[in-house]
Structure 1
């Protein structure tokens, strides 16, 4: 089924309760667009003090001593803490507890936290932090990920310089090489991208009467935060409570801890509330980024365009600490061959430690990097074969039953050909800019179109949904039905993090659908309810929906038993013909019906460490893009004219929200293609930690993005839904670069692409 997004009618406009499949308006939408929504940085409590962080100016240095006396003597300063003041474990981490709460005897990246200051106001805290004297012995930083494993290179990390080596061996590569008529190789590079969320890291820590602490914080995974936080505070988990504060975007950057331990340490030390809120500069140092990648691809095919094998080597720079690098590199390797049927593969993926900033989760989680390499090399293969790039993709498109390089067969929908055909059949935008603002360079008026060429590029991406490799993913929901002022009201309580993706709205839609009740309240997410997992891996709607649906259906059974009915709707119990039998309110009466449900997806297994074989995934999602670009080949200026996409979403739970997710993911891919990169010099220093120098797309950069939504229900998910948020980031970047290669005839191996990459390359070619 294809959904026409333009024809949607908002459920709220009809006066009906929004159910599954309707475009429900977000309960927080009006408050956010009018500026009345309370984000975590807006939190305030009487008597609170403000905290800030002193961070290392070096990427690599030993710490000889720290003198805090001058800072502590300043009026209005209440505390200055170092590693000696950490009450419990001195390290934490998502996958390995290797990241210091505060640097102990060495700093390993530019911006590593060294000390904390709490004061009456933010400015006093910042000025006092400048008075802390740290005696550093600078070391030569190790910043080149391609040489970090060479013999004689100084170890960056206590465990050495290798985070993980992922090996995937599939089929018979020796035989496959003999069958390939055409072989192409390509080397590609992806820069370090920032999540660039609008709300910097912030939180408010409040000491409790029992000696514990409460933390209101913007996060993606409250229970994982708690798992790391409590040991560092030296407290049992039951004495540490986390509540989700308003989140201003995440995209993976809030999976790791930021202000958590620091704010709570100070609150416990002072016995009063402590607020930490990073400014934009500090935010660039306060969270992980997308791994920069260097990749070498080799595609072998028959002369009629059938893929025979893929060989690839990926190197991801994980920076100074582990974070989620072991699983990011695994995810990158799983999907090296893209959304294609590839019978033979040899894949090596390495994540390494350097003295560069730590890298970890970001939307697409490794598959963005490998999709870029794969789709770039597919266009190169098509050129070598003299074949249309779309035809090459269709000829090798993955289908249900295709066996992945990990040995797992795709048992759900795999509509790769359908997505590509939808884009191929869509009319192209008219050529010729209507006005100067539509030309490359826009309002800068740098070209009148003399050197402008148009290019069209395609790309398709595939990614697993949910955690992989044997992780028992769960999500817990507690649903309560009671009568309030004579009407039935459902309350839903989960720990699911609302990061702007709309999970709160979906939970209300599920409850309304399952229980037939108009009024649904979604309670604040906190750690008083069981784990909901992370708002990542395109899993939250699937898992949270399963948990809420399961709890609701237990209550629905009780209602139907009491009312001897067939179904529920419009606050009534209905017979088999849909006629009301009695009101839900009458059945509930003074009772409170409550049920807690823990949802699990089907089991997965880890991959074999030597061969990479294993049934590691529960489901797969697919997206494809067609980019149309105009580029001034003399100046290197680029205008993305249109970025059309087709995506299978299984079931559009909230079509309007689905559209927003696809648009947002596509724009992040556009940013990675043309402008977004954290620049780190050879000394490991970040050179552009601001939105003045780190560029992200504005509304003037965003082209029309026509969307074709396909609904191929997944057999294992609630309502047949599938993950939506990450797939658009996979194919948008390579589609744009493929379009630019089409327009310029240049190889353009790096993302992001800059004007000089085109202008200077053409100059060199001309000479």
Structure 2
């Protein structure tokens, strides 16, 4: 997406590298249900796509953020004199330079200062800003800022957070959650109680318990945070940025700048991945502050080290679970307690708690439950949204429990799951009834029935005997084994994820659709504020327009704040909600075109009568001749341009005592079977296959659907065996903020991922579709752990699994 934005009278020039209009279509293909290629795909694979870090302005400055070197400390003084005197430096800002009365921001709770004030609460918190004529000059100047810290006691876990006399991470809290939490260092608490779990436990023939630890995961998007702020002549600012939610950013940015929202104009730049890490602000306010102070465009680009401190991560968790069952395998009850570490600021922690609690049972029918989920304030790195959003941590624990229960009952783990699988009509622990297909048992049947990959696939025969392909062995090209001590394991898991924003949030999206004739051919233009972060919305929106308007050529305009909010590209919601808005607006445009044509031609014009039939049937009007001419005549003086909002059915908040409520819009389901090979002597793991079966409702773009499932599966593999941000428990400092020490799966680590797609329509959703992007991230992790347990006989109650957990070293 690369071209200049709209002309703007308020700015001196237009920066290069701004996302552009995408025009798609030739011929009559590319509607709903077809595997349409991405319009930005070639640019991305050839390295020509313009990401936010590629933007350039001829007279721009470079911004840099100075971050705290300690996790919890009083700021006694800040000396910027030497930094400000550095040649090439145009501005140095601290908290005292913030222009507005509002100095904090946040997704729900505005507890995050734009720059640290009085104290720092986590390692890497922003303290000061520098603008200079070269990025290295800005970095060197920032290093000259002298800060006198007086370190304070740390809050690092539940014990230190809630002990008598515990240090408060946020003194004097006034947010709306404080009234229902047992301690000020608890951000939010959500119980879910249904039936009588204690009484049901006494009826159980078998009871299993487990304590599980889930590590902190980084989103590890490949494009670090970056953006360009350009001051405008009206005193406002234009911000070009990679984000997940333009209007949420705007709502938080404008008050801190002391500007009305209409003077902060935002345009989406090329996004190099997100996975939840761009829901919170990073450099947005900082770049704008520097641009407004200096009167010059300011570009900020984080390096990888800074990116680890510049965005939130997945909540680490400690989970205690208890399951009971009758001797024939029917679940009697479930109890659990989930403790999520939210770090220094709230971010999305309240919503993550709601998800973890309401989805803690998983895709199983059980009448008696007692659930508690909490999120802590601590001096660890802030945590918030990441793909799966609270359900990932719960799934890891409840699926380990199902394996443990199956072993105690001497049942196959798939059969135990299928016996207790929820289905359409099941009443969830929150009291919400599942009113769309829930093919949990069928998904499990499909992954179990798939043929296993061949044994000892690293061996191949040749004229001289057999040879070993070490790439297919644990340890790979490190050549640590030729098959000695390698054991195969197979494991299964299934997960339950909600789709869309929940708990009464007014979740809607907006789309503007225009239909006109250009060069004698009807063209549709779609404009939304949806952040395209790689999920493929730009393709789906064009497919919807082709299907609903019968046009071949569709133009997707750059996402910006000139159109109403599209909400966040998260919660697997964009195809559902913004796709729904595009469909809704297209339907209105089609009706307007038909109304104009009928008014102009009546029923006596044969060419228009044919065009009318084509439009009503969703056929592409590109056949030329009189039919096309009549449509051109209809639209030549009256292009149709309609902007509409679209909402799904409403949800409601969960009761803060019982957790009851119709809190979710829709549910998605995925099942995995993992096949692994483990070098039991060295503790190395090779994941051979991660087969997935998932119900997607309707595959609007089958190629994109398969890619999303494979991508989510790979991210779950990462947290299973390698990904974890290590925080020193004594200092609360991050120890591995680089891809040298924080490992993510490469192509050599990624196994075969065969995908089995079901399309069981949800009648409440546009086209019957179901959000798909997150569910495979849930079940892939516990499936891999189950396979490693199957191979080794070990309990393995934490993730990621490290070699020492297998060898005992």
TM-score by length of 2: 0.91
Question: Any gaps of 5 or more consecutive residues in structure 1?
Answer: 1-11
Task: Say whether the 8 Å CA contact 2:243–2:268 is kept in structure 1.
Answer: yes
Question: How far apart, in 2, do the equivalents of 1:280 and 1:264 lie?
Answer: 22
Matching residue of 1:734: 782
**Offset of 1:219 from its aligned partner?**
0.4
Identify the residue that residue 605 of structure 1 maps to in structure 2: 652
Distance 1:684 1:64, change over 3 A: same
Native 8 Å contact 1:636 1:759 kept in 2: yes
Structure 1, 228-237 or 142-151: larger mean CA deviation: 142-151
Q: Take 2:160 and 2:370, find their aligned partners in 1: how far apart are those partners?
A: 22
User: Is 1:690 aligned to 2:738, yes or no?
Assistant: yes
Matched with 2:21 is: none
Counterpart residue number, 2:696: 649
Question: Residues 707-722 of structure 1: matches in 2 within 5 Å?
Answer: 707-722=755-770
The residue that corresponds to 2:451 in the other structure is 427
Q: 1:44-193 to 2 correspondence within 5 Å?
A: 44-88=56-100, 89-158=102-171, 159=173, 160-193=184-217
Q: Secondary structure at the match of 1:148?
A: helix
Shift of residue 583 of structure 1? 5.3
* Pair 1:622 & 2:622 matched: no
The answer to whether the Cα contact below 8 Å between 1:258 and 1:287 also exists between their aligned partners in 2 is yes
Q: Which residue of 2 aligns with 1:438?
A: 472
State how far apart, in whole Å, the 2-side matches of 1:655 and 1:293 are. Answer: 35
Matched, 1:702 2:750: yes
Alignment of 1:366-765 (within 5 A): 366-434=390-458, 435-561=469-595, 562=597, 563-564=608-609, 565-568=612-615, 571-572=620-621, 584-682=631-729, 683-760=731-808
Task: Spell out, residue by residue over 1:516-575, the C-alpha distance to the aligned partner (whole angstroms, 9 max, x if none).
Answer: 11110010001111010000000011001111111111111133342442342554299x
Offset at residue 472 of structure 1 (A) = 1.6
Give the CA deviation at 1:138. 1.1
Aligned counterparts of 1:400 and 1:571: Cα–Cα separation in 2: 37
Mapped contact 1:67–1:134 kept (Cα < 8 A): yes
| Structure 2 unaligned regions, length at least 5 | 1-23, 174-183, 459-468, 598-607
1:282 aligns with 2:306: yes
In 1: Cα distance, 2:791 partner to 2:27 partner: 50
Give the Cα separation in 1 of the matches to 2:627 and 2:791.
Answer: 63
Whether the aligned pair in 2 keeps the contact of 1:571 and 1:584 (CA below 8 Å) is no
Q: CA deviation at 1:436?
A: 2.2
* Residues 583 and 544 of structure 1, relative CA distance in 2, 3 Å threshold: farther
- Give the whole-Å Cα distance in 2 for the aligned partners of 1:145 and 1:484: 63
Distance 1:585 1:299 in 2: 66
User: What is the distance in 2 between the residues matched to 1:393 and 1:668?
Assistant: 24
- Preserved CA contact (<8 Å) 2:614 2:620: no
Q: 1:217 aligns with which of 217, 238, 241?
A: 241
List per-residue Cα deviations over 1:697-753 (Å, max 9, x = no partner): 000000100000000011111111110100010000000000000110000001000
Q: Distance in 2 between matches of 1:166 and 1:610?
A: 8
What RMSD, in angstroms, separates the aligned Cα atoms of the two structures?
1.4
Q: In 2, Cα distance between the equivalents of 1:249 and 1:189?
A: 27
**Equivalent pairs, count:** 746
Q: Secondary structure at the match of 1:346?
A: strand
Question: Is residue 200 of structure 2 the alignment partner of residue 200 of structure 1?
Answer: no
Q: Return the alpha-carbon distance in structure 2 between the equivalents of residues 146 and 623 of structure 1.
A: 36
Aligned partner of residue 671 in structure 1, secondary structure: helix
The answer to whether the 8 Å contact 2:26/2:553 transfers is no
Query: Is the Cα contact below 8 Å between 2:652 and 2:663 reproduced in 1?
Result: yes
Rate the CA distance shift 1:268–1:307 in 2: closer, same or farther, 3 A: same
TM-score by length of 1: 0.96
State the distance in 1 between where 2:772 and 2:140 align: 45
SS of aligned partner of 1:622:
strand
Checking the alignment, whether the CA contact within 8 Å between 1:307 and 1:342 is kept in structure 2 is yes
Contact 2:316/2:340, CA 8 A, preserved across alignment: yes
Whether contact under 8 Å (2:25, 2:554) holds in the other structure is: no
Cα 1:636/1:719, change in 2 over 3 Å:
same
Matched, 1:319 2:338: no
SS, match of residue 572 in structure 1: coil
Residues 605-614 or 164-173, more deviating: 164-173
